[in-house]
Structure 1
C-alpha cells in the first residue's frame, strides 16, 4: 500500500472495513480448532489410525506456514476487495469439499484449501488496520482483533463437542455444513461494505522464493510435528532440512531487495521494536500453545473428563482473554504498552509456574483460575505487542510485517507442541522404565513440560522490559530509500 495514505478514521470510531475483517477472521479461525474433538469420529468413519486422523489439523497448520510468507507480496499486488473475495472464496470452496468428502484423502484436500483462505485473512486484517486506523486509536481497535483471534480458538472445541453429541456416522460433516451459511453471509456482507484501502503495486512473483518458503516453513512445521511419537532422528532431519531451506529463502530475499521484489521483505527485522515484539510474541504464543496441548491431555487422560467437558472448563479463559481485549486496547491508548506487557508477562510466568503443581486431586476451580490468569495475561501482552511491533514499521512494510508475524505464529505453535509432547513423553517413558505407574509417570512428565515453558516465560519478561512504551517511528513516513538502508539490504 502506498505511503501517502493517511488514516481516514476519526477518533472513537472503528472503520467498517476493520469490523468486517474482524468478523471474517473470527469465522475462519474458529474453523482452525473445530476439528480437535472430531478425531475419534473420523477414525471410525474412514477407518484410519489416530496418527492419520490428526492430519486434519496438521495439514491445516502446514498449509498456513507454507502460504503466509507469500501474503506480503499478494496483499500489495491486489486490492482489499480482491484479497477478501479470494480468501473467503477459497475458504468456502474448501469447506464444501470437506462437507462432501467421500474419502479421507478428499477431506485432507478440503482442509488444505480451507487453510489457504485462512492464511490470507489475518495478514489482510492486520495490514488494513495499521493503514486506516490512527495511531492514537490502534490499541482499542487491536483489542477487538484480540477478541477475534482468542475467543475463536477457545470456542472451536466447545462448538464441535456440542455438535458431535448428535448421533450418527455423518455428525462430523455438520461441523462444515454449519460453517457454510455463516461464511456465505459474512462474505456477502463484506463485499457489500468493504472499500479498497490503497492501490495495488504490480510486481513480479519470484517463484524460487515461493518454493523455498513453502518447502522451508512447511518442512519446519512438519518436522516439529514428527516429534510426536515418531523417530526423533527422522524428525530432527526433516526439521534441519526445513531450517536450511528457510536460510536459503532469507538469502534470496536479501538479494531480491537489491535486484528485484522480495516475497517477504526482511527489512522489517531492521526495526528494533518490531524484532523485539516478534521474539516476545513467539515465546508467549509458544507458551500458550504448550498449555493448550497439556491441559486437555491432563484433564482427559488423567482426570477422566470428556472432550466436551474439557472444552467447557477451558472456555472461560478464552472468553476472558477475548472480552478483555478491547479494555486492554483502551488502556494501551491511554498509558502506553510498557506496564501492560510487563504485567502480562509476569502473569504468564506465574500462571505457568502454578501449573507445575498439578496433581490427581487438584480442585477444578484452581485449574480454572490458573487458566483464566494465563489467558488474561496473554491478552494484556498480545494487544500492545502487536500494536507496538507493527506500529514501528513504515507503512510500505505493513503487509510484510503482518505476514512474518503470522508465519512465526505457526512455527511457534508447532515448536510449542513438539516441545511439550517430547519432554512429557521422554520423562514419562524414563519413569515407566524404572517401574513408576503410568499415571504417576505421565503426570510427572506434564509437570516438567510446564516447568520448561514457565522458564521460557521468564525470557518473555526480559523482552517486555526492552520494549518501548510507544511506537518509536512515524508509521506513515515515506518509504526508506534503499541507498540509505543498513547493511542487511546492501550486502
Structure 2
C-alpha cells in the first residue's frame, strides 16, 4: 500500500499546515492585553478571539466525516488552506476587532477541515503496523505547536507588533499548499453522501451550544450562574441528545455512532479526552499561578512551560515506534501512573516552590501525557473498519474540542472558587501576599480535580489491549 503514495511529501505538507494551525490557536492568547488596549475592548470581548475559534472548530468538526466522503482529499485540502491563508492575511492586515474576529473564524474553519483530513489520510496511506510512528508525528504537531505559540508570540510582541504573528504564519502555509498541490493524491473514495440538514442543525446547536456555554463559564465574572451559560449548555445538551437519536435512526448517518460499539475505540477516546483536560487545564492554570501566585512575568511563565511541551512533541515519534513494537498497555499504564504522581506533587504547589521544581513537574506531566495520548488514540482508531475511519476521526476531534472547553471552564471556576473561599476568611484580602496565597489555594484545588480524573483513567488503562486490526485480519485469512 505504501508504494503508491509519496507518504513523506504528503505528510510534510499536511504537518506544516497543521503546525501553523495549532500554533495560531494559542499564539494570540498572549496578545490579548495589547489588543484590549489597542481596540479599546473589554476582556470578555477579547476572549472571543479564542472562544470564537473554539466555537468554529466545535461546529465544523462534527460534519467533517460527511465532508470527507463528499469531497476528494485534494478538494478538502485546497478548501481548508484557502480559508486558512485568507484568514491569516486578513489577520495580518486587521485594522479593528471585527476584522480580526473574522480572520480568526476563517482560520478556525480551515483548521476544522485540515485536522480530520490529517488523521484520515494517515489511516489510509499507512498500514496498521506503521501507523504509530506517523501518528507520533501528528502528535508532535498537535502538542508542540500550541505550546510554542505563546513563547514565539511573546517575543514578536516584545520587539514587533501582534500583526507579525500572522505574517510569520503566511509563508509556511503557502509552502505547505505548494507541496500538497504537487504531491497530495486523492486517497479516499468519494461517495455521494446525502446532506441531512436536520442533523447538521442539531450538531451545530449541540456542539456549538456546549462549547460556547463552557467557554463563557470560563470567562469568569458570573461564571456558572450566568443565564447565558446555563441556557446554552442545556440547549446544547438537548440538541446533542436529539442528534444522537437522529443518527441512530438514519440509514446513512452524518456521524456514524457505530464507532461506539468498538470497546478499544471507546477506551482510547476516554483516555484522549482526559489528556485534553489535563493539557488545557494546566496550560491555563499554571501561567496564572506563575504570574499571580509566584509573581513572574508573562514571558518567563511562557518559557517555563516550553521544555515540557517541547519534550512532549519530540517524544511523539519515539512513543509511536514503541507502540508499533509493544502495543498500548506498556505505555499507557506507566504514563497514567506518572501523570497521577505528578498531579499529586502539583497539589503541594506554593509561592515558595522553586522554578526548577515547577518546570520539572510540568515536563514530567507532559511526558506522561505523551505516553497515554498517542497509543490510546491510534489503538482505538485501529479497531475501526476502514469505512468508519472518517466517522471515528470526526467523533474524536469534535469531542476533543468539547473536552478542551470543559477543561478550561471547570479549571477556571475551581480556581476562582478556591481563591474567593480563601480571601473570604482572610483578614486583609487586598494584600498582595494574601492574593498570592489565595491563587495558590485555588490552583491546588484544580490539581486535586485533575488527580481524580487521572486515577479514574488509570483504572480504565488496565482494560486496554492491543487491537488486531481489520486489515490484518483479512491478510491473515
1:155 aligns with 2:151: no
Distance 2:51 2:96 in 1: 17
Secondary structure, aligned partner of 2:349: coil
Distance 1:355 1:203 in 2: 49
Distance 1:14 1:374 in 2: 32
- Residue of 168, 172, 175 corresponding to 1:182: 172
1:440 aligns with 2:430: no
Query: 1:289 touches 1:413 (CA, 8 Å); kept in 2?
Result: yes
Per the alignment, residue 251 of structure 1 pairs with 245
Q: Give the ranges of 4+ consecutive aligned residues of structure 1 lying more than 4 Å apart after TM superposition.
A: 475-478
Secondary structure, aligned partner of 1:99: helix
Deviations 1:214-238 (A, max 9, x none): 1111110111112232432322332
Secondary structure, aligned partner of 1:385: helix
Query: 1:62 touches 1:221 (CA, 8 Å); kept in 2?
Result: yes
1:239 aligns with 2:230: no
Distance 1:9 1:32 in 2: 35
Per the alignment, residue 351 of structure 2 pairs with 360
Question: What are the within-5 Å matches in structure 2 for residues 54-73 of structure 1?
Answer: 54-73=47-66
Deviations 1:101-130 (A, max 9, x none): 222122111101110000111111111111
Secondary structure, aligned partner of 1:357: coil
Distance 1:109 1:263 in 2: 28
1:323 aligns with 2:296: no
Query: 1:94 touches 1:111 (CA, 8 Å); kept in 2?
Result: yes
Where does the alignment leave 5 or more consecutive residues of structure 2 unmatched?
428-433
Secondary structure, aligned partner of 1:359: coil
**C-alpha spacing 1:63/1:475, structure 2 compared with 1 (3 Å):** farther
Per the alignment, residue 483 of structure 1 pairs with none
- Residue of 389, 392, 412 corresponding to 2:403: 412
Per the alignment, residue 471 of structure 1 pairs with 467
Per the alignment, residue 123 of structure 2 pairs with 130
Distance 2:200 2:471 in 1: 28
1:403 aligns with 2:362: no
Distance 2:66 2:394 in 1: 9
Secondary structure, aligned partner of 1:164: helix
- Residue of 97, 106, 114 corresponding to 2:107: 114
Q: CA deviation at 1:439?
A: 2.1
Distance 2:471 2:244 in 1: 24
- Residue of 28, 31, 34 corresponding to 1:35: 28
Distance 1:450 1:33 in 2: 22
Question: What are the within-5 Å matches in structure 2 for residues 253-332 of structure 1?
Answer: 253-256=247-250, 258=251, 261-332=252-323
**C-alpha spacing 1:37/1:149, structure 2 compared with 1 (3 Å):** same
**C-alpha spacing 1:212/1:32, structure 2 compared with 1 (3 Å):** same
Distance 1:185 1:132 in 2: 22
Per the alignment, residue 52 of structure 1 pairs with 45
Deviations 1:287-336 (A, max 9, x none): 12111111000111222222221111111111100111111111111111
Q: CA RMSD in A?
A: 1.7
Question: What are the within-5 Å matches in structure 2 for residues 349-388 of structure 1?
Answer: 349-388=340-379
Q: CA deviation at 1:420?
A: 1.0
Q: CA deviation at 1:455?
A: 1.1
Q: CA deviation at 1:9?
A: 5.0
Secondary structure, aligned partner of 2:415: helix
Query: 2:32 touches 2:46 (CA, 8 Å); kept in 1?
Result: yes
Secondary structure, aligned partner of 2:217: coil
Deviations 1:411-458 (A, max 9, x none): 111111111111111121122122263221221011011111111111
1:450 aligns with 2:447: yes
Query: 1:127 touches 1:402 (CA, 8 Å); kept in 2?
Result: yes
**C-alpha spacing 1:295/1:344, structure 2 compared with 1 (3 Å):** same
Deviations 1:195-249 (A, max 9, x none): 1113211111111111111111111011111223243232233212211111111
Q: CA deviation at 1:463?
A: 1.4
Query: 2:151 touches 2:306 (CA, 8 Å); kept in 1?
Result: yes
Q: CA deviation at 1:14?
A: 4.9
Per the alignment, residue 182 of structure 2 pairs with 192
Please report the TM-score for the alignment, with normalisation by the length of structure 2. 0.94
Query: 1:394 touches 1:476 (CA, 8 Å); kept in 2?
Result: no
Distance 2:159 2:327 in 1: 48
Please report the TM-score for the alignment, with normalisation by the length of structure 1. 0.91
Query: 2:319 touches 2:371 (CA, 8 Å); kept in 1?
Result: yes
Query: 1:392 touches 1:475 (CA, 8 Å); kept in 2?
Result: no
